[in-house]
């Protein structure tokens, strides 16, 4: 596949953009990464995703595919001869999709809530809510992994990608709040999994550095605080 045939529209700090990039790396598919500029949307993005006008978008040939987990499934089905991302067993596949929806609908909003919490007590409550979510995911990891390194077994799978894409921002949350969230005592499985996931060749080059991501978070905070023009 020529490099120009596969493009990913996105931005390096986005956990959602990480997902198709990891999936393409797993499948050993060469692609062109087209960075969007913060605060603006390119004509190609607006043309490729006219409904949501959001990243990421995968462009395969001249066909755009939108929404991060839908893109991951598309990649898995299109390059089917390479390692599978979704579980082959229907129940395992449904379980992976369930927990992927959980991390998007519940876990990530809980993590963002810490940044918006005002006052010590509100901050503590938000952090505890996130810790409770991690304990749930620890149990899911034990059941899904069946004693193997990843949620997907011996290799990175669908749920690994869905949850693992948030690890950069989870580290920023730990750093900015001076708290340990992936605690070896409370979530030993996830703590070990996070190390293995981030070190994997498919992940390490697209996982943002914590300090760089923390600086980007400060830029976002300033943009939110600025009065509308």
Is residue 151 situated within a structural domain? yes
**Per-residue pLDDT at 2:** 44
Q: Which of 58, 78, 98 is the C-terminal boundary of a domain?
A: 78
Q: In 3-state terms, the chain is what percent helix, strand and coil (to 5)?
A: 55, 10, 35
User: For the chain, what is the domain count?
Assistant: 2
Q: Which of 78, 108, 141 is the C-terminal boundary of a domain?
A: 78
From edge to edge, which strands make up the β-sheet containing 6-10? 32-35, 6-10, 57-60, 63-66
Q: Which domain holds residue 67?
A: 3-78
What's the token pair of residue 209? 């550095």
pLDDT of 41-100, one tens digit each? 999 999 999 999 999 999 999 999 999 999 999 999 999 988 999 999 999 999 999 999
Is residue 205 situated within a structural domain? yes
Q: Which of 52, 78, 104 is the C-terminal boundary of a domain?
A: 78
pLDDT of 138-194, one tens digit each? 999 999 999 999 999 999 999 999 999 999 999 999 999 999 999 899 999 999 999
């Amino acid at each position: 596949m020529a490099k120009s045939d596969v493009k990913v529209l996105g931005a390096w700090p986005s956990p959602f953009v990480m997902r198709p990039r990891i999936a393409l790396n797993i499948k050993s598919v060469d692609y062109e990464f087209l960075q969007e500029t913060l605060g603006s949307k390119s004509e190609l993005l607006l043309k490729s995703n006219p409904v949501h006008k959001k990243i990421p978008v995968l462009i395969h040939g001249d066909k755009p595919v939108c929404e991060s987990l839908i893109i991951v499934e598309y990649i898995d089905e299109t390059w089917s001869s390479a390692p599978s991302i979704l579980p082959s067993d229907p129940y395992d596949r449904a379980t992976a999709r369930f927990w992927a929806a959980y991390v998007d609908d519940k876990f990530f909003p809980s993590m963002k809530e810490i940044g918006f919490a005002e006052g010590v007590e509100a901050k503590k409550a938000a952090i505890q809510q996130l810790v409770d979510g991690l304990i749930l995911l620890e149990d899911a990891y034990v059941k899904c992994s069946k004693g193997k390194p990843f949620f997907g077994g011996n290799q990175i799978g669908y749920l690994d990608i869905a949850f693992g894409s948030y690890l950069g921002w989870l580290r920023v949350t730990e750093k900015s709040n001076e708290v340990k969230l992936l605690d070896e005592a409370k979530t030993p499985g996830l703590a070990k999994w996070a190390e293995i996931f981030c070190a994997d060749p498919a992940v390490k080059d697209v996982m943002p550095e914590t300090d760089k991501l923390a600086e980007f978070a400060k830029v976002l905070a300033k943009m939110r605080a600025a009065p509308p023009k």
